[in-house]
Amino acid sequence: MRYHNITKDDMLNGEGLRVVLWVSGCNHCCKNCQNPITWDPEGGLIFDTAAKEELFAALDHDYISGLTFSGGDPLFPANREAVTALAKEVKERFPEKNIWLYTGYLWEEVSALEVMPYLDVLVDGKFEEDLKDPKLHWRGSYNQRIVDVKKSLAQSILYLYPAE
């Protein structure tokens, strides 16, 4: 897996104060995407041991609520295995932290992926410029949904996470 940045102390990409891993690779290519530089799966840096240590050190603070995977698209096919392994390791090492993941795929397309049991919240759907509203909480356009993954998996029905 490749990545572009690790943001520490982020308040825009999920609930609470978060660490965000911006992965490389996206095939959605949404018009006016906020991060088109992350589309190239060969862009950025290799997510190596040093990057993982940096991520874990950032997560190892009581004031950090959790980790957010963004990008690019963490569920870009080439990222899935590495993102799943990292999410599992984060849950094992930091069970009190929650994990959010942003993807252009819909819940219905990805709900059976191996990563899902390690996620708490999934923000799904491609960014749609025509549905953009800067006042939206944790998403860029109205078509995107904030999914409560734990509840949705347990009940086998889509549950939305309270956005306000």
- Which of 52, 63, 49 has the alpha carbon at shortest distance from 10? 63
What's residue 34's pLDDT?
87
Instruction: Kindly report the pTM of this predicted structure.
Output: 0.96
- 142 located within any domain: yes
- State which amino acid sits at residue 9: D
Domain that holds residue 7: 2-155
Q: How far apart are CA 82 and CA 90, in angstroms?
A: 12
**Residuewise pLDDT in 10s, the chain (164 residues):** 999 999 999 999 999 999 999 999 999 999 999 899 999 999 999 999 999 999 999 999 999 999 999 999 999 999 999 999 999 999 999 999 999 999 999 999 999 999 999 999 999 999 999 999 989 989 999 999 999 999 999 999 999 998 65
For residue 119, the domain's CATH number is 3.20.20.70
CA angle, residues 29, 48, 15, in degrees to nearest 5: 60
